[in-house]
Amino acid sequence: MEGEMNNFAMVWITVVASLCYCHTIGNIIKQGTTRLVAILPVIILFLFLPLNLRTVFLGGPTSFFVAWLATFKLLLFAYGEGPLSTSNPSLPLPRFIPLACFPIKIRNDPSLNISQKAPKSPLNYAAKALVFSTILPVYQNKLLIHPKVFLFLYSIYTYTGLEIILALVAAAARAVLGVELEPQFDEPYLSTSLQDFWGRRWNLMACGTLRPTVYGPVRSIASCWIGRKWAPLPAVMAAFLVSGVMHEWIFYNIGRSKPTWDVTWFFLLHGVCLAVEVAVKKVVNGKWRLPPVVSGPLAVAFVMFTGLWLFLPALMRCEADVMAHREMVAFMEFVKSLSMDKVIVFLSIHS
């Protein structure tokens, strides 16, 4: 664990130093291909940098923040787009760095095309933390639980764990910089359709980076060939394909197991289904639609079924559940050792 913490520190020191370089490049080189060439080594470095980490709770978020978010934001920055690009004066370095590598946005920042959401109540997060806290007893009784039931429970732990981790990052960023983290999730179990699930409720920052880097360019190119009405369909497929590949890379960073591409197929399947949903909506043009009380459960059930079929088994092949359990036990033992040290010091002072 000590070696992992040292690697974690070195990874983030490298990230900060690289972003300082990118910030300087942005001040001396105009947006365009020349700036892209100048920062391309950093983009490539960020893709492979998380390979230095081997834990779920350190390597997983770092892969998402650095290999996905930071690289995509730097690609936009090269051409003067996205949250890292502003008019004169340039974005200050203390804000440039966290905006580049964390899923945070400046209040009322429209550059990511993410709808403004009211902050969630502490009770919301407390309830999810309570649900997540049951992961240890559930894992300890894993052999007594049906594999499909365990996968279902693990999908809930994955969702609640991600939201809690990102909420903690948001709280730290808000306290230090006065910026807020756009909620990564907007109660996805309340979705009314696949379009609502993927576009407005699940992993909003990933959606916000895929939209200008993949969806927008592909839609613009496709509109020249098939017209503006149907251009969103190949754009949706392209965005889901890239999302699948990035998830495969994150899973590889965690488990170092050869990809089976099940995760990519999961996202391609959802890309096809979402494209069909969009096409049907265009054809009926608002004249008919399923009631949300029907379409919502159908959409959520479809996500759960395909997730248990393709997504979660790929995560299990990385032994993410085994690694997470081991890391949580190690962390609890570390906290206990610190508590015992404090007790010993207190007793020695007052003896």
SS3 readout for the chain:
CHHHHHHHHHHHHHHHHHHHHHHHHHHHCCCCHHHHHHHHHHHHHHHHHHHHCCCHHHHHHHHHHHHHHHHHHHHHHHCCCCCCCCCCCCCCHHHHHHHHHCCCECCCCHHHCCCCCCCCCHHHHHHHHHHHCCHHHHHHCHHHCCHHHHHHHHHHHHHHHHHHHHHHHHHHHHHHHCCECCCCCCCHHHCCCHHHHHHHHCCHHHHHHHHHHHHHHHHHHHHHHHCCCCCHHHHHHHHHHHHHHHHHHHHHHHHCCCCCCHHHHHHHHHHHHHHHHHHHHHHHCCCCCCCHHHHHHHHHHHHHHHHHHHHHHHHHHCCHHHHHHHHHHHHHHHHHHHHHHHHHHHHHHHC
Is residue 195 domain-shared with residue 151, that is, in the same domain?
no
Residue range 241-251: average pLDDT? 96
Work out the percent of the chain whose per-residue pLDDT is above 90.
Answer: 57
- The owner of tokens 């947006």 is 31
One domain, residues 171 and 194: no
| DSSP β-bridge partners for residue 180 | 105
70, 101, 132 - which closes a domain:
101
Domain containing 58: what range? Answer: 4-101
Angstrom distance (rounded) from CA 70 to CA 46: 8
pLDDT tens by residue, 57-113: 899 999 999 999 999 999 999 999 988 987 556 788 988 998 898 887 766 554 545
Asked if residue 328 has pLDDT above 90, the reply is no
pLDDT category at 344 given cuts 50, 70, 90 is: low
216 within domain boundaries? yes
10 Å CB burial of residue 318 (0-12, 13-18, 19+) is buried
Q: What is the mean pLDDT of the chain?
A: 87
- Are residues 140 and 33 part of one domain? no
How much is the average pLDDT of 109-120?
55
d(CA 125, CA 134): 15
Residues 311 and 192 in one domain: yes
Domain finish residue from 49, 74, 101: 101
Q: Would you state the pLDDT for residue 217? A: 95
Are residues 81 and 17 part of one domain? Answer: yes
Q: For residue 333, report the phi and psi dihedrals to the nearest 5 degrees.
A: -65, -35
Q: How far is residue 312's CA from residue 11's CA, in Å, rounded to a whole number?
A: 28
Residue type, 346: F
Same domain, yes or no, for 192 and 269? yes
Whether 16 shows a pLDDT value over 90: the answer reads yes
188 vs 288: which has the higher pLDDT: 188
Please state the rounded mean pLDDT for residues 125-153. Answer: 90
How much of the chain exceeds pLDDT 70, in percent? 89
Q: What is the pLDDT of residues 150-182, one digit of tens each?
A: 999 999 999 998 889 888 887 888 777 776 666
Q: Is the pLDDT of residue 52 over 90?
A: yes
165 and 253 both lie in a single domain: no
Structure-model confidence comparison of residues 89 and 291, the more confident one: 291
Residue 265 lies in a domain: yes
Q: 228 versus 117: which is more confidently predicted?
A: 228
Q: Are residue 209 and residue 299 in the same domain, yes or no?
A: yes
Query: Which residue, 135, 154, 181, sits at the end of a domain?
Result: 181
Task: Give yes or no: residues 224 and 126 share one domain.
Answer: no
Picking from 13-17, 99-103, 257-261, 339-343, which range would have the lowest pLDDT averaged per residue? 339-343
- The yes-or-no verdict on residue 250 having pLDDT over 90 is yes
| pLDDT tens column, 17-33 | 999 999 999 999 999 99
Band of pLDDT at residue 119, cut at 50, 70 and 90: low
Of 135 and 287, the structure prediction assigns the larger pLDDT to 135
Residue 97 · residue 19 · CB < 8 Å: yes
Query: Does 176 share its domain with 199?
Result: no
By C-alpha distance, which of 165, 203, 207 is closest to 184? Answer: 203
Q: Are 289 and 295 in contact (CB under 8 A)?
A: yes
Of 306 and 182, which is predicted with more confidence?
306
Distance CA 147, CA 154 (A): 10
Residue 131 has pLDDT above 70, yes or no: yes
Structure tokens given for 171 = 């709280």
In a domain, 48, yes or no: yes
Question: Domains in the chain: how many in total?
Answer: 3
pLDDT at position 31 is: 92
For residue 211, tell me if it sits in a domain: yes
pLDDT band at 212 (very low <50, low <70, confident <90, very high): very high
**What pLDDT band is residue 116 in, cutting at 50, 70 and 90?**
low
Are the beta carbons of 183 and 177 closer than 8 angstroms?
Answer: no
pLDDT-derived band at 346 (thresholds 50, 70, 90) equals: very low
Residue 58 lies in a domain: yes
Spatial separation of the C-alpha atoms in residues 83 and 108, rounded to whole Å: 11
Task: Give the Cβ contact number of residue 227 at 10 Å.
Answer: 9
Is 199 inside a domain boundary?
Answer: yes
Question: Is the pLDDT assigned to residue 287 strictly greater than 60?
Answer: yes
Domain membership flag for residue 339: no
At a CB cut-off of 8 Å and minimum separation 6, what does 290 contact? 298
Q: Could you tell me if 261 and 286 lie in one domain? A: yes
Are residue 301 and residue 212 in the same domain, yes or no? Answer: yes
Residue 139 resides in a domain = yes
Arithmetic mean of pLDDT, 222-237? 93
* Environment class of 242 (CB within 10 Å of its CB; exposed 0-12, middle 13-18, buried 19+): buried
pLDDT at 23: 95
Contact 114, 204 (CB under 8 A): yes
Q: In the numeric block, which tokens belong to residue 178?
A: 């006065």
Mean pLDDT of 109-129: 70
Does residue 243 register a pLDDT over 60?
yes
